[in-house]
Amino acid sequence: MVASDGGPARPARAATRADVRHNVFMSVRSFLWLSVAAAMATIALKTGAWWLTDSVGLYSDAMESLVNLASALFAVTMVSIAYRPADEDHPFGHSKAEYFSSAFEGLLILVAALAILFAAWERWRAPQPLQSLGLGLTLSVLSSVLNGVLAWRMLHAAHAHRSIALEADARHLMTDVWTSAGVVAGVLGVGLTGWLWLDPLLAAAVALNIVREGARLLHRSVQGLMDKAVEPAVRERIDRTLAQFAHPAIRFDHLITRRAGRRLFVDVHMHMPAGWTLGRAAALRINVEQALMSEVPGLHASIQLLPMQVEAQPVDAEGDLP
């Protein structure tokens, strides 16, 4: 091949790990900015629905959209930090920043739930008739369709990129969809039956439902910050890969794993004959590491070489023997 300047054409540069990280980051950030735009649109639609109908149920739905906006903006910031490369102060990277995003979202959900419960109690004490149900419910349904489509796309992207922040935002949007469906059904029930107490009761049910979602997000975030092990399915893939190298002269033990945001880590001892040269042992370790990282994308493997007769005791995070 000939280049445009008459010289030999240069081969296309292979994508590096940094290129892949940048592409993933841009994709995740784009979805989060879409979430911000969707939250602003749904706030306008749901606030209009509440203003038209004076329904505390639709008010609770609008409050949850405010949480969506605040959490999406915070998620953009945390994801930008999480995808920074490792540095001297953070040699293992910044991936755990995503957990702060999901924890913040969980806290905002709990605050919104308290505000909704207060409004529901006030409306329970002083019921008010609902108005303009047709137009108000139409606006609410439109916002739900918008959130549903975006949440479905974001969940697929979250699984593909292993982003806890994107997944948390997507699941919250999906919860918002089901919440809106329940609110619409309840407000219709008020209009058909005239039972005004249904409206505050429905708002309280919405609040309790999002409390459950907020508690789940907080629990998952805390587990991530506590260096939780990888999922059983991922651990099974790691074990299956190591089994391919198992041999009477080679064995693996003291395997531990942890997850930090989208990054996965595994530490394992590999025992081999004491008579092997360092070069031969190192070559095998490289093959095992490459096989593990090929089988589990995003995995960082650390393998300690040991003679077959030596048993090293692992040390915990405080430097004490278990």
Task: Say what the pLDDT of residue 299 is.
Answer: 83
Q: How far apart are CA 87 and CA 300, in angstroms?
A: 16
Q: What are the respective helix, strand and coil percentages of the chain, to the nearest 5? A: 65, 10, 25
314: tokens are: 């692992």
Instruction: Report CA Rg, the chain.
Output: 26
Phi (first) and psi of residue 172, to 5 degrees: -65, -40
Task: Say what the pLDDT of residue 42 is.
Answer: 82
Q: Is 197 exposed, middle or buried (0-12, 13-18, 19+ CB in 10 A)?
A: exposed
Token pair 């979805």 is found at 31
For 153, 176, 318, the CA distances from 150, given in Å and listed in that order, are 5, 12, 44
Considering the domain 232-307 in this protein, what is its CATH number? 3.30.70.1350
319: tokens are: 């430097």
Give the DSSP letter of residue 126. Answer: S
Reading the chain (322 residues) residue by residue, the pLDDT tens digits are 444 444 444 444 444 556 655 666 677 778 788 888 888 888 888 888 888 877 776 777 777 777 778 777 877 787 777 777 777 777 777 777 777 777 777 777 777 777 777 767 776 777 666 666 677 778 878 888 888 888 888 888 877 776 767 777 777 777 777 777 777 777 777 777 777 777 777 777 777 877 877 787 777 777 777 777 888 888 998 999 999 888 888 889 889 888 776 678 889 999 988 888 888 988 999 999 889 988 887 788 888 888 887 666 655 545 444 4
Task: Say what the pLDDT of residue 14 is.
Answer: 42
Q: How far apart are CA 77 and CA 70, in angstroms?
A: 11
Q: How far apart are CA 238 and CA 200, in angstroms?
A: 51
Buried b (16+ CB within 10 A) or exposed e, 115-125: ebbebbeebbe
- What is the dihedral angle through the alpha carbons of 187, 193, 196, 202, rounded to the nearest 10 degrees? -40
Spans of all domains in the chain:
17-225, 232-307
Task: Say what the pLDDT of residue 132 is.
Answer: 63
Work out whether the CA dihedral 66, 70, 71, 73 comes out positive or negative.
Answer: positive
Task: Say what the pLDDT of residue 10 is.
Answer: 44
* pTM tops 0.75: no
- Tell which residue, 209, 117, 107, has the closest CA to residue 168: 107
Domain 17-225 = CATH 3.10.20.30: no
Angle at the Cα of 81 from the Cα atoms of 78 and 84, rounded to 5 degrees: 150
Q: How far apart are CA 112 and CA 134, in angstroms?
A: 26
Cα atoms in the Cβ-side hemisphere of radius 13 Å centred on 209: 21
Task: Say what the pLDDT of residue 45 is.
Answer: 84
Task: Say what the pLDDT of residue 157 is.
Answer: 80
Identity at 49, one-letter amino acid code: A
